[in-house]
Every structure is written in structure tokens, then in C-alpha cells.
Amino acid sequence: MTGAPFVALLALLHSQSSYIEEVPNEEQESSAPASSGGIGFRALLEVGPLSFPSGTPGGEQDLFAYAYPSLGVDGGEDFAFMLGAPLRFRLLDNPPEQKDEDYGAWLRRQDWDERSDYGQVVRLLRIGDESGRFGLRIQPFLEESLGRGYLVNRYDNQLSPDYHPAGGTLSFAVGPARVELLASDVLAARIFSGEFLLDLGRVVSGSENHFDRYLLRASVAHDFGEAGGVTPEATVASVGGEVAIYKGERLRSWALLAGGARLNAGAQDVGGLLGIAFEGDFKGTQLSVTLQGRRQGGGFRFGFFGAGYELARFSAVGLSEEPQADQRVPKDFSGYIEMSVARGGGTDSTEVVASGAVEYSAFGRADGDFSLSFSSPGDETRGIVRAVVMGLGDRPRYSFAVEGRQRVLPALYIWASGATVHFPQPDGSLVRGVSAGAGVGVDFARR
């Protein structure tokens, strides 16, 4: 999410809440409550000026007129669908010193110049329940993890400003087994991953006391590197086990053990980890903490496809270094901590969701990823902040993004956003810039 066009932030805000909950109190009172069933409809239009970099060496800031129409249908817990078209119309053109045929056009060409970009029209498609026996979801990925995140962890497929894919997940459960499949781009050959989860307690015993206590995970992920720019392929795999230490009504904890490996030819490095995880619900506050000690290095690291990967696939750290698939780091120990806190929920209370992850390697490198979102009672005020730091202590790269929305009338709100952006170049380097925009939006929702 960090550094992506601000429409990706808007998609996260929309997908986290029901359509009815996002309208102001006056309209909620005239609408059927969400619990009454039925189908809900939502429409919105955002417009405003946007300052956006040319994205090429020597380029300056361009001025765009931004428009984002969107239409959504909410069918309850088992179905939701939202279409949207983020459009940037060039008003003021400051061309780069070396202008090419892909630059320019009134409708920004780089937003629609490959098949993957048409995936951005689907802002959300949800069928079934991911925590149940079957679930399908297609939308932009902003903090997507597969299982415990040993391979795909807090991944953001909107980080590259000229690449706008829709990601997809498919999950299903049969008896004691559960399978989850993930595609970072449903229209092109990019990251495909899968995890097989087996509940050993359900296999050996029919007693509920043994359910969800002894888990086995096996996962694999491969990046073909053929969309959003061509980059080296990468394949990683992991096998892990979990044992429930404590399972109460408000607190649960697990001991973690896992191994992983890089499977590409010439990069068959391995790693292992020991850890502990806690999840709890304390008077309306949901808390999750994971602590891990890791041994890894060479071409393999846990969370290989992480928050900053869409830039790291071009330059692992900094702006013009080797891609992550080719990078080799010292084989050493590292410490990892991930934490998330969620407080509140619903239209009558303030909701705050904060999460972050930091890994520090003994050879002196740190990577971090942090996000914070909040909404006031009645969703009068909403905001989100994201920061990703790669290679601190080495050749660091920083990505930041912020967006806010403030309702001023029952169907009218204002928005503002800002972000750093990094544009991949044909030679694999990154060009850094800043984006900023502001405007107004109107919305409508009925059930």
C-alpha cells in the first residue's frame, strides 16, 4: 500500500466496512439495518486535482484531474461486489528530458498499458466466508499474508505506481484439511502461492478438546516476474508446525517451529525459526503478537514476499541495487516481532487498527512495516497511514502514504492524500517522487 496511488488506500477503507455503515447517521436511520438482510447498494464519485511525478529520470511534477466513480453491491456475509475506475486525466504536462512514446496521453497511459492494469476495475469481489468451508476474494492487496506469513507476509501489490493488479485468494476446507491459494495478479504470471494446513488433532481424535491444537503447515510460492516489469523468478517453500500452549475464551497462544528453503537453481539456501504467538480479546480490544528467532540468509528469508517486495523485486534495497531474487545476504540470526491492535467497531464508536512488523538481522540490517487506520463514530472522519522501511543500516529505502476523509454533509465529504512513489525503470533502477492530492466526494447507499 505504501507509496501506491491513493486510490489503493481508498479501496482498503471501503473493503473494511459495510456499505451501510459508511453512510452518515441521517441516512442510516432511513435505511434498513444491515442485520435485516436484503441487498445493499452503494455508489460514489470522488474528484479533485492531483500532483503526480512524471516517473522518469529528469521528469517533473504533472498536474492531473482525478476521478474515481464506484458502484457496489453488498449481499451480506457471503457476497459483496464493488467496481471502480480510478482515472487520472493529464492537465499540465512537464515532460522528462528524454520523452518516449509511452509518456503522455490525456488519460495517463501508464495506468492502462498492460493487461494487469484492467484488474484495478474490480475493487472487491467476495464470495463465501474465508474462515468457513469456502471463500473467494478478489481485490487490491494492501497487507496480505498467507497463513502465518512464512512466505507471503503483509504483501502489498499496489506499491509500484504504474502497476495496478487485482489479487485473489481461494480457500476451502475438507475435514481436518484446509487449502488456501493466493495469486498476486489474477490476470498475469506473477506470484502464485499455496498452503496446505492439516489439523492433526482432528485426524487422531474425535474429541473437540484436541481440535485446533496441533497444526501442520506446508506452503510454496513462486514469482514468474512477468508483469509490472520483468524481473528474475523466485521460488520459496516452507514446512512448519504449531502446538497450542493455552486456549481460553479470551487468550490463545501457540509455539511455532518452521523451516524454509529457496528452491531456485544456484540458490538452494535454507532457514529455520522458533517462535511464539499470542491472540487475545480484552474488553473489546483485539491483540495479536508474534515473536520469532530466525536463522536464515543467502537467497532465502522468511516473509520473502513482504510489504516492500514490489519495489525490492527491482532493487532489493536503495534505488539502484540488485533485485531481491539475486541478492545474497550473510547467513546469520535475526529477531522478528509483529503486533496488531484493534479497538472499537461499528458506527457508534471510534475504531482504531494499528499493526507493525520489524525484523533485525545480526549483520546490522533492519526492515519494518507499520500501518494505522481509524474512523470516528458515524464514520465522520476516516484516515489511514502506512510506512515501509527496507534496508535500514544498509542502503535504506523509505515509503510513506497517508489519506484522510472528513464528512461535511450527509452525502458529501472531502479527502486529501500524500505519498512517496518509486517508479521502476527498464534498467531495474527506481526513480523517486512525491504525490499529493485533495478533493471532494459524494456517496449514496441504500439497502
The grid cell for 415 is: 479527502
Distances (CA, A) of 78 to 74, 111, 171, 173: 9, 31, 14, 16
186: three-class secondary structure by DSSP? coil
CA distance 324 to 315: 6
Give yes or no for a contact between 421 and 8, defined as CB atoms under 8 angstroms apart: no
pLDDT at 282: 87
CA distance 124 to 138: 6
The grid cell for 420 is: 512517496
Give yes or no for a contact between 55 and 433, defined as CB atoms under 8 angstroms apart: yes
CA distance 443 to 21: 12
CA distance 73 to 161: 28
CA distance 441 to 47: 6
CA distance 194 to 237: 10
CA distance 255 to 288: 14
CA distance 200 to 436: 51
Task: For residue 158, give the nearest of 373, 10, 55, 370 by alpha carbon.
Answer: 10
DSSP string, 144-174: B--TTSSSB-SB-TT-STT--PPEEEEEEEE
- Helical residues (DSSP H) of 239-370, grouped into ranges: 309-312
436: three-class secondary structure by DSSP? strand
The grid cell for 84 is: 471502480
Distances (CA, A) of 326 to 35, 57, 159, 225, 307: 52, 24, 20, 13, 18
N- to C-terminal Cα separation, the chain: 31
Whole-prediction pTM: 0.90
Q: What proportions of the chain, in percent to the nearest 5, are helix, strand and coil?
A: 10, 55, 35
Strands (E), 264-411: 270-282, 285-298, 329-343, 351-361, 366-375, 381-392, 397-409
Other residues' Cβ atoms within 10 Å of the Cβ of residue 129: 12
Give yes or no for a contact between 298 and 268, defined as CB atoms under 8 angstroms apart: no
What's phi and psi for 346, nearest 5 deg?
A: 90, 170
Secondary structure element (H or E) that encloses residue 202, with its range: helix 200-204
Task: For residue 311, give the nearest of 188, 430, 227, 149 by alpha carbon.
Answer: 430
CA distance 86 to 66: 8
CA distance 54 to 268: 40
pLDDT at 77: 84
The per-residue pLDDT string of the chain (447 residues; one tens digit each, 9 = 90 and over) reads: 333 344 444 444 444 433 323 323 333 333 233 334 578 999 999 999 999 999 988 888 999 999 999 999 998 888 999 999 999 999 987 665 545 555 556 899 999 999 999 999 999 999 998 888 999 999 999 999 999 999 999 999 999 999 999 999 999 999 999 999 999 999 999 999 999 999 998 998 877 777 889 999 999 999 999 999 999 999 999 999 999 999 888 999 999 999 999 998 777 799 999 999 999 998 889 999 999 999 999 999 999 999 999 999 999 999 999 999 999 999 999 999 999 999 986 667 889 999 999 999 999 999 999 999 999 988 899 999 999 999 999 999 999 999 999 999 999 999 999 999 999 999 999 999 999 999 999 999 887
Q: Report the residue count for the chain.
A: 447
Beta bridge pairs of residue 160: none
pLDDT at 94: 67
pLDDT at 1: 38
CA distance 40 to 14: 14
